[in-house]
Structure 1
């Protein structure tokens, strides 16, 4: 899973990737820390680039993507948001949506 370290890097990534998963976390978030390994494990099953960003380090991304909680998993397809999962994420639903854009 690659790390997004700036808003400019995010803009470049979304412009260059046809599809991707973005895992959004923040500091001191036990739900984020518990969910991250589960999402990382999906990376082997799906041929989609996986990225993560810490909104405490890149706060602009939270405003631009209208993120009000963490964790959030966003799927993008053709440069547009395809699916959004927030806070308590059901892995089966995430897998289903990943399969749709595979």
Structure 2
């Protein structure tokens, strides 16, 4: 299940309240962002211990400087509030899934 994050505080609360979290940052009028989101949602659904947060950078411009984002989409994996993996613009779903598998296995979240 995805959660829309609309403030910087929402983002910080989300990554600290979920041991393992994926953040998808997108923009309005970004066709790649729209294509990637359902893929990320489908992938995260295979990992019930992973929470998905979605940030629309078009509505929260400050997230770009907060996360040092220079493109969209950007997908990030956080483990206990710490960024562990980042991909931007062209998301390699196999690599992203591999990182989730490693983190869920190593974190014993299965």
Q: Which residue of 1 aligns with 2:17?
A: 16
Uncovered stretches (5+) of structure 2, i.e. residues with no partner: 105-110
SS in 2 for 1:27: coil
Corresponding position: 1:56 with 2:23: no
Uncovered stretches (5+) of structure 1, i.e. residues with no partner: none
Runs of 4 or more above 3 Å deviation:
none
Q: How many residues align?
A: 102
Query: For 2:44 and 2:16, how far apart are their aligned partners in 1?
Result: 21
Query: For 1:56 and 1:16, how far apart are their aligned partners in 2?
Result: 25
CA positional deviation for 1:94: 0.5
1:43-90 per-residue CA deviation (whole Å, 9 max, x = no partner) reads: 221120011100111111111100000000000012110000110111
TM-score by length of 1: 0.94
Q: Which residue of 1 aligns with 2:72?
A: 70
CA positional deviation for 1:17: 1.7
RMSD: 0.9
TM-score by length of 2: 0.88
Q: Which residue of 2 aligns with 1:96?
A: 98
Corresponding position: 1:80 with 2:82: yes
SS in 1 for 2:45: coil
Query: For 2:15 and 2:41, how far apart are their aligned partners in 1?
Result: 19
